[in-house]
Amino acid sequence: MYFMMPLFMFICGLLVFSFNYYHFLITLLSLEYIVLSLFWFIFIYMLMSVFDMYFIMLMLTFWVCEAVLGLSLLVNLIRGYGNDYLLSFNLLQC
């Protein structure tokens, strides 16, 4: 029962990630939503099985670094191209 809500959140995040690919910001927000559902799922699992919570702190640290990397890419994209449309620039250029 407790695992159904994070699973539903994960599937909704994947659907938003796969269907909204026009703006880079929406893509980053959907990835963060997926990470939040994974965090909730792992937290419930570790709480029910009485594991140590140091693993969650380690994973949370990596997820924060991933979010900072995504925001820095967004800032560089907006400074370089003036918008966050993914279709406005060519990824194959040098």
Whether 8 maps to a domain, the answer reads yes
Digit-coded pLDDT (tens) for 41-53: 988 888 888 877 8
Whether 22 maps to a domain, the answer reads yes
User: What is the pLDDT, as a whole number, of residue 56?
Assistant: 87
Q: Indicate which CATH number applies to the domain containing 21.
A: 1.10.287.3510
Whether 94 maps to a domain, the answer reads no
Digit-coded pLDDT (tens) for 60-91: 899 999 999 989 988 988 888 788 777 776 66
Whether 93 maps to a domain, the answer reads no
Mean pLDDT of 35-39: 92
The mean pLDDT of the chain is 85
pLDDT at 7 > cutoff 60: yes
The structural domain count of the chain equals: 1
Whether 33 maps to a domain, the answer reads yes
- Among 17, 29, 32, smallest CA distance to 63 is for 32
pLDDT at 37 > cutoff 80: yes
Q: Which ranges of the chain does DSSP label H, i.e. alpha helix?
A: 4-19, 24-48, 54-81
Percentage of the chain modeled with pLDDT above 70: 93
> Taking CA 76 as the corner, what is the angle to CA 72 and CA 79, rounded to the nearest 5 degrees?
140
Whether 48 maps to a domain, the answer reads yes
The token duo for 73 is: 């890419």
More confident residue, 39 or 83: 39
Range of the domain at 13: 4-88
